[in-house]
Amino acid sequence: MHALTLPLLIGLLGLAELASADAVVVVNARSGIERLSRDQVTNIFLGRYRGLPGGGTAMPIDQPESSALRAEFYRKLVNKDLTEINAYWSRLIFSGKTTPPWRTFSSQEVATLLAGNPDAIAYLERGQIDKRFRIVLEFSP
């Protein structure tokens, strides 16, 4: 192996770790929700059903369109890439059957909206979780 190849390889491996963030599904800590099943989260984020266990209506919040965390979340949740998710929402929006999750411009905006609304549900990187949020679903590695 060439001397320059090893540092390049190490650098690329580091980038791969950064690209694969550890997404967790979270709610506002004041929501009273302790856990949600994968099916419940899928139904909420795909607009099939927005009811929460406590009787409220979920307000799903998406990460920015080009976010690597968004891509990871939908891949782990429903094994779909963002092209497939965008096509899914295009069909549903056109039909008028439901509305997509709230769209944001930054991960910080997701956290702010989530912290301010007890019915909000979102996904964040594990490192962003603080006392304002409760993890309700974790994905297997």
Q: So where are the chain's domains? A: 21-138
Angstrom distances, CA of residue 82 to CA of 86, 120, 123: 6, 22, 15
The third-level CATH classification (topology) of the domain covering 21-138 is D-Maltodextrin-Binding Protein; domain 2 (3.40.190)
User: Could you list the pLDDT tens digit for every one of the 141 residues in the chain?
Assistant: 444 444 444 444 434 334 456 999 999 999 999 999 999 999 999 999 999 988 889 999 999 999 999 999 999 999 999 999 999 999 998 888 889 999 999 999 999 999 999 999 999 999 999 999 999 999 987
The strands making up 120-125's β-sheet, listed across from edge to edge, are: 59-60, 120-125, 23-28, 133-138
